[in-house]
Structure formats: C-alpha cells, structure tokens
Amino acid sequence: MNKPAKPPLHRDVEAFLRTGMELATSDRGELALSLAAKALAEVPGDPRMAAFGRLVSSHQVPKFHHGMLRDTQRNQLYRKAIERLAPGRKVLDIGTGSGLLAMIAARAGAEKVIACELNPMLAATAREIVAANGLSEKITVIGRHSGMLDRNGDLDGGADLVISEIFSDDLLGESVLPALKHARQELCAPGAIFIPDSAEILVAAVEFSGSSMALGEVEGFDLSLFERHLGPVRTFNPASANIALSSDPRTLFRFDFNAADYPALSRENEIDLGIPTAATNGLAQWIRFTLAEGIVYENRPGSARATHWPVRFTPLGPHTNPIRNDLRIGGWHNAEKLAIWPLID
C-alpha cells in the first residue's frame, strides 16, 4: 500500500506560512529559506508562491537594513577605514547582515574574515552573497551571536581587527557595548584593533519649529496624561528644516574601543550647554563615529548629506522658556538604554 502523497506546499498556504515563520525566527533559520525555495520549485516562476516566500524570508527582519545598506556615506567611510586597516589582518565582522563589510575587508586584502550574524536566516543569505561575489575562500559566515564564538575553534587563535556596525540612533540599543567588550576580552589576538575607534553621543539645545509635538487637547479632550507612554524622544531626519541648533554641541558620552580601559557599560554624566536662545524648546541627541583616525561619520542636525540614522529630539517643558541661566544636561546609560534630562538652574 502506498502512502498518500503529501499535498504540495502551495496547496496549503497557511501551513507553509506558519512553518516558514516559525523556522525564520528559530536557530535553524536557514531552513526557512530552503522551504521557500522548495515551494517555489514546485511551481517555478509562480508570482503567488514567490509572494508567500517573501512573507517568510522577511518575517521579523528589521526594516532598517534597506536604509542602512543604501546609506552611501556610511558605506564609503567604513570602506575607507577597512581598506586602511584590513590588509594582512585576521578580521572579525560582528553583525554582518548582508556580508557587506566582510566583503570589503576581504577585497581589501584581509588574511581571512570571520563574519558572524545572530539571525541564522540572514547568515545563510550572507553566505550566498559572499559566494555570488566570489569570496567564499576568504570569508567564513557563522550564524551565531558573537557571544557564542570561540577564539580557537572559530577564530583560529583570535582576531587582529574587529569591525562592527551594530549601532542604533542612541548608539546603545543593539547591545554594542557588551558585544565589543566580549570581543576584546575573548575573541582577539594581542594588539587587536577595532573599527570604529570611538563613538560619541552628542547633545545640543535646539529650536524645533514644526507642528507641536505635545498631544495636549484632542477633539476637546485633555490627553496630556498619555504623553508618558510616547517615549522621551521623537526622531527626525537630520536634514529636516524644522530643527536648528541653539547651542554648541557637546559630547555627553564617549566610548573609546581601542583604549586600554574598556568603556564602562553604565555611566552617568553632566554637561553644560551654556545659555540657550529664548526659542529653545528641546534637546537633540545624535551620534558620531571615528572609524579610524580622520575618518568621521556624524548625523548632526543640519547635515546636508543623507543618512539612515535619525536625530532624537526630547522636548523641554514650558517652564524652561525663557531660560536665563546655563542649561545643564544630565545623562545616564547602561548596556542598552540612554536617558537624558535637563537640569535647570
């Protein structure tokens, strides 16, 4: 007696999507891609099946990848730093995504590149992209978080150069600090260097001239109590004409990844922004990387060049306007969160 044939995947879309999405978020994410490819192979070129496959392979992949990979300024500055420092070195690329920075390092003459990516589905695609670009012999893509790598087993004794671009708009959100600290202590050969060399969280007083950011009254009801759930910040494109600096920028926190003393995972600081203009109504926070000496990326408000990192804006209360004294700013961060507050004299 023959077993009944299993129905082809495209006949049971619900089961296909359910299984595919489960795999896409599991530690066997590469099977999600195989499943999508198999389903499409049953009905080659079928746009319906291709659309379902795309639902699976994009499931819970962060949307920022598109803007980041098309951020020409970011790409070019990382390339310049990598081309200067990668030749002859054993490179570790943390959070490789598409494999772009790893491929730049390999092409620049790295001895060897180990690229890790915590999403196994993305790691499988990075492996395919590396192969399509003829760099499989130089680059090994590992589908694990860098915290799960082994200096000897995976890194042949330790990396000489660590590259990472896992920075969010408040610098910290993707847990870059513990990842780089772990890499420095557990995954490096003696004397290893890091790209970026340093990163900074910058703050300035600003005049925001767009429509009111506060909820206040809506349809005749007072909704101001809902403000507390909206987060301390809104985000803006740094090229926005609605936001202008009203004080000099100051560095609130600086992280030196190549210093002997590794940056602390939690700190508090206070800075003085001087006397702001009467129209000051908020604080802007943005980021600056020194990738290598003289190679600097910054998404400062008023930047003419497009960037995928937004500027973060924190409104100041009405009691701060007009301000007659120095505007002092308090700040705190830990391994994943940043808080900023005004200290008015």
Q: What is the binding site for a second copy (CB under 8 A)?
A: 13-14, 17, 33, 36, 47-48, 50-55, 57-58, 61, 63, 65-66, 69-70, 75-76, 79, 97-98, 100, 103-104, 107, 121-122, 125, 128-129, 132-133, 211, 213, 215, 218-223, 225-226, 228-232, 234, 266, 330, 332, 334, 337, 339-344
Eight-state DSSP code of residue 10 = G
Residue 185 or 224 with smaller CB distance to a second copy: 224
Of 148 and 230, the one with the shorter C-beta distance to a second copy is 230
Smallest distance, a second copy to C-beta of residue 231, A = 4
Q: What is the largest distance, in Å, between two alpha-carbon atoms of the chain?
A: 91
Q: Where are the beta strands (DSSP E) in the chain?
A: 90-94, 112-116, 139-142, 159-164, 188-195, 198-208, 217-218, 221-222, 234-236, 243-245, 250-256, 267-272, 282-292, 295-298, 311-315, 327-333, 338-344
Query: Least Å distance between CB 307 and a second copy?
Result: 14
Placement of tokens 């192979």 in the chain: 41
Closest CB 66 distance from a second copy, rounded Å = 5
Residue 28 tokens, joined: 């066997």
CA distances from 46 to 14, 17, 50, 342 (A): 17, 16, 6, 57
Min dist CB 63 to a second copy, Å, is 7
- Closer residue to a second copy, CB minimum distance, 126 or 192: 126
State which residue, 152 or 212, has the beta carbon closest to a second copy. 212
Task: Return the amino acid letter for 284.
Answer: A
Could you tell me the smallest distance in angstroms from the CB atom of residue 284 to a second copy?
Answer: 16
